[in-house]
Structure 1
Amino acid sequence: MTTTVAEDLLEPLARTPRLLVALDFDGTLSPLQNEPMDARMLPAARRCVEALAALPDTVVALVSGRSLRDLRVIAEHDDASPLWLAGSHGAEYWQPGVGAIEPHEDPEEVALRDRLRALAEEATRGMAGVWIEPKTFGLGVHTRRADAVTAEHADRVVDDIVRAHAPAWRRRTGHNILEYAFRHEGKDTAVRTLRERAGASAVLFAGDDVTDEDAIRSLGRDDLGVRVGPGETAATVTVADIAAFADLLDVLARMRGRALGVASD
C-alpha cells in the first residue's frame, strides 16, 4: 500500500472531531511469541501509539483477548498511561482517570471455570508444547510450541471436556490457540463500548486474527478496518506486517497532528 493511498484513506480519520484508534496487541503491535507473556510492542509501533495518544481528541485503546491483568503486563501499562484497554474480548476495561472497570463475577461460574481449567491441565499433562492459559472468564489452549498431531489432540481433548461440562461457553479459535469463556463478549463489543465511552466520531480498528474480524465487520462507513498480515478479511486495508502497520500509524499521527494544528517533528 503506497503512502498516497494511505493518506487518501486516512484523511477522514485525521480530520474527524474525536478519533478512537483501537488496536489488537498480539500480531498487530507485537510479534507472536512462543511464550505469550514475552510479547512486547515493537519499538516503532510503540512510538506511533504514543504519538497518537498524545494528540488532542484522540483516544488510543488496546483491545485483546488477554485478561486485563496480563494485557497490562505485556503492554507495560501503568496507572499514568494515557492508553485505554479492553481485555477478555471486551469484558474488562481500563480507562485513564477511572482505572479498572470489571464485571461482577458469579461464584458458580468462577467455580466451574476453575474446575474446567484443572481438568484441561490434567488431560494435557505430558503433551509437549501444550500450555493451558488461565483467563479471567475461562481458559485458553496454547499449542504454538507443539507439533501438529499433538496440537490437534490437545484441542480435541479440551473440546470434549468443555462440551461435556459447559456447552454454552463461547469457543474461539486463533493463531495456535483455542479459547473458551463463560462470557460472550467479542471485540465488536469492545469497539462499541470504547466508542461510546470515548465519544468517538470515527474509529480505526486493526487486527491480525479471526477474533478481530468481529470488530472489523462491526465498523461503520466513517470508520476504517485494517488487517495486519495475510488471511481472509472484511477490512478495507491490508498491510503486510507489524512494521508496515507502524508506518501507517505514523502517517495517521502526522496527518492528524497537522489537521489539529499540532506541531510535528
Structure 2
Amino acid sequence: MSAADDAIARLAASSRLLVALDFDGTLSPLEDEPMDARMLPAARVAIDALLAAPETVVAFVSGRSLVDLRVIAEHDDGAGVWLAGSHGAEFWIPGEGLVSHGEDQGAAALRDALRAHAERATAHLDGVWIEPKTFGFGVHTRRADAADAEEANRLVDAIVAEEAPQWRRRTGHNIVEFAFRHEGKDSAVAELRERVGATAVLFAGDDVTDEDAIASLGAGDVGVRVGDGPSAAAVRVPDIAALAALLARLARERTRALG
C-alpha cells in the first residue's frame, strides 16, 4: 500500500475530519497578478465533494488577507468552506462570519508607514509590487528580474530591520511577507482543529510557510506536499490536478465509509 493509499484509508475512517488547504499553488496556479488566482475546475469539484461528505469540514488556510482570499476563492456568505486568512490571524466561519484576533491601532499605523516607505524605496525597480495586507505587507517579485528582486528584498529588509525588528518575516514563491502579528499556519490549523472538533486533519500546501502546518500535524494526521521542495509531508503529489484527484478519492471513500 502506498503512502497515499494508507493516508486515504485512515482519514476516510476518521469520525470528524478537517481538510485544511493552502490556496495559491495548491488549489490555484500561481499568477503574476495575484488577484487573478482562481481554483482549477477539478479542484473545485473535489472541494464540493468533500463538503458533501459526512462529518467533513473544509478550510482554506492562506497568507492572504481575508478580504482578498474571499475574492480569489469566490467565497460568498452562503459558502460552507471555512477560511483562515493572514496566516491564521483572521477567520471566516460559516454561519458566523468574520472572527479576527484584533488590530492594534499603533501597529496598524506603523504598518501603513512601513508599507509607504517600502513602496517609495522600490518604486524604481521594474516588476516589484508591494501588496497591502491586514497585518503587514508583502514584497512581490514574480515579474522582476533576479537583480531587481534581490535589490527590492535587500531594501525592504533594511527598512523593517531598522523600524520594526520585532515583525515576523516569511518567504514564499517570489514573495517576502512582513507582519506585526506572529500567527502561522500551524496555529491556524490548531485553532481550526479545536473549533470543529476534528479527530484527524489533512493539510496540503506547496510553499515554505505551509511547512509550519505540516510539521505541526499529529500521528493521526496527514500532510501533503504539492510539487517539489523539501517537506515533512508523508504524501507528495506533483501538481494541483493530482491533489484534486486525491481529494476527490478521499471524498468518495469517506462517503462510502460513513455514509
* 1:142-181 superposed matches below 5 A: 142-181=140-179
Query: Deviations along 1:68-112, whole A, 9 cap, x unmatched?
Result: 000000000000000000000000000001100012211100000
Tell me the distance in 2 between the aligned counterparts of 1:195 and 1:24: 15
- Aligned to 1:188, the other structure's residue is in SS state helix
Tell me the distance in 2 between the aligned counterparts of 1:44 and 1:126: 40
The offset of 1:55, in angstroms, is 1.7
Tell me the distance in 2 between the aligned counterparts of 1:81 and 1:248: 22
Q: Is the 8 A contact 2:26 2:205 kept in 1?
A: yes
Tell me the distance in 1 between the aligned counterparts of 2:256 and 2:62: 30
Q: Is the 8 A contact 2:3 2:234 kept in 1?
A: no
2:85 — aligned with what?
A: 87
2:69 — aligned with what?
A: 71
Tell me the distance in 1 between the aligned counterparts of 2:49 and 2:73: 16
2:29 — aligned with what?
A: 31
Moved >6 Å (runs of 4+): none
Q: Is the 8 A contact 1:22 1:62 kept in 2?
A: yes
1:50 aligns with 2:48: yes
- Aligned to 2:84, the other structure's residue is in SS state strand
**Amino acid across the alignment from 1:64:** S
The offset of 1:9, in angstroms, is 2.0
1:194 — aligned with what?
A: 192
The offset of 1:12, in angstroms, is 1.0
Tell me the distance in 2 between the aligned counterparts of 1:48 and 1:195: 21
* 1:167-246 superposed matches below 5 A: 167-246=165-244
- Aligned to 1:205, the other structure's residue is in SS state strand
1:12 aligns with 2:7: no
Tell me the distance in 2 between the aligned counterparts of 1:136 and 1:93: 12
State the TM-score, normalized to the length of structure 1.
Answer: 0.96
**Amino acid across the alignment from 1:95:** I
- Aligned to 1:62, the other structure's residue is in SS state strand
Instruction: Flag structure 2 segments of 5+ consecutive residues without an equivalent.
Output: none
Tell me the distance in 2 between the aligned counterparts of 1:194 and 1:113: 27
State the TM-score, normalized to the length of structure 2.
Answer: 0.98
- Aligned to 2:231, the other structure's residue is in SS state coil
- Aligned to 2:20, the other structure's residue is in SS state strand
The offset of 1:53, in angstroms, is 1.1
| Length, aligned pairs only | 259
Tell me the distance in 2 between the aligned counterparts of 1:184 and 1:93: 15
Instruction: Flag structure 1 segments of 5+ consecutive residues without an equivalent.
Output: none
Q: Is the 8 A contact 1:67 1:87 kept in 2?
A: yes
Query: Deviations along 1:177-227, whole A, 9 cap, x unmatched?
Result: 000000000000000000000000000000000000000000000000000
The offset of 1:50, in angstroms, is 1.1
The offset of 1:132, in angstroms, is 0.0
Q: Is the 8 A contact 2:54 2:254 kept in 1?
A: no
**Amino acid across the alignment from 1:240:** P
RMSD of aligned Cα (Å): 0.9
- Aligned to 1:178, the other structure's residue is in SS state strand
1:260 aligns with 2:249: no
Tell me the distance in 1 between the aligned counterparts of 2:97 and 2:18: 18
The offset of 1:5, in angstroms, is 5.1
